[in-house]
Structure 1
Amino acid sequence: MAEDWAVDVKKYASDADEKAIAGIVRHCGIALQKRDSSLVSFSDKDEVARVRDNFLKKKLGLNSPDSELDQAISAVAAKMKGDRTKNRVTVYYLLAEHFGKLSTFI
């Protein structure tokens, strides 16, 4: 699935770092090859838990309480509310930006 992930990220972060976007794309890897796994469903509790546990805790190394991490995920969901498709790369970029962890991907 060929997609310019930077275009979507820049809808929400106009000065987005291209290297960080490329790093997130590398991190997501095979998940971006299928449409369904390239999107995040904020209404699916299991999906939100996966984002929190696998991305925020494991990849970004955050140890904040789940309630605080869930609040950040909810803030990104609210920011992207008008967009029918919530691209995983964009969600991860916005979360990494929120927590000051974009350098993890550069």
Structure 2
Amino acid sequence: MGKRDELIAKYAEDLKEKCGMTPDMDLLTKVTIGCGPAIYNDDASTVAGSQESELETVKENFLMKKLGLADSPDLMAGIKSVLDTYGQSNRNKYRAVVYYMLVKHFKKESVYG
């Protein structure tokens, strides 16, 4: 099992244990691959949910650029909803898991089709 497969298994575990979701493994794999080399970097592989600048980056680079969503207050509300589901007490919020939940939240699975 390669490093990426190990990470995907860890993300799936987080989705089950911390978020109460049964992950679509095909979609999770595609979202993880879409994150690129960031998943291997300790700092870049997680989302700092308490930093506004980080949330803006997620909104602009992922929701607007990658998923093609128009800027609106719904985007930040969606991010906050996903972070609440992940649990504010969870210090490590993996980027791939957050992105996966955002794809589900905004029903943009087709982007990864």
TM-score, scaled to structure 2: 0.83
Q: Specify the alignment match of 2:110 in structure 1.
A: 103
Q: Specify the alignment match of 2:69 in structure 1.
A: 62
Distance 1:76 1:62 in 2: 16
After superposition, the CA RMSD in angstroms is 1.6
Please tell me whether the aligned partners of residues 20 and 103 of structure 1 are also in contact (alpha carbons under 8 angstroms).
no
Distance 2:29 2:20 in 1: 15
Are positions 1:47 and 2:54 aligned together?
Answer: yes
Q: Which moved further from structure 2: 2-11 or 49-58?
A: 2-11
Give the aligned length.
105
Gaps of 5+ in 1: none
Q: Specify the alignment match of 2:36 in structure 1.
A: 29
The percentage of counterpart residues that share the same residue type is: 33
Q: Specify the alignment match of 2:82 in structure 1.
A: 76
SS of match in other structure, 1:89: helix
Letter of the aligned partner of 2:47 in structure 1? V
| Larger RCO (CA within 8 A; separation ≥ 6) | 1
Please tell me whether the aligned partners of residues 15 and 22 of structure 2 are also in contact (alpha carbons under 8 angstroms).
no
Gaps of 5+ in 2: none
What is the CA-CA distance between 1:38 and the residue it aligns to? 0.3
Please tell me whether the aligned partners of residues 38 and 44 of structure 2 are also in contact (alpha carbons under 8 angstroms).
yes
Q: Which moved further from structure 2: 4-13 or 86-95?
A: 4-13
What is the CA-CA distance between 1:94 and the residue it aligns to? 0.8
Distance 2:104 2:21 in 1: 12
Please tell me whether the aligned partners of residues 25 and 89 of structure 1 are also in contact (alpha carbons under 8 angstroms).
yes
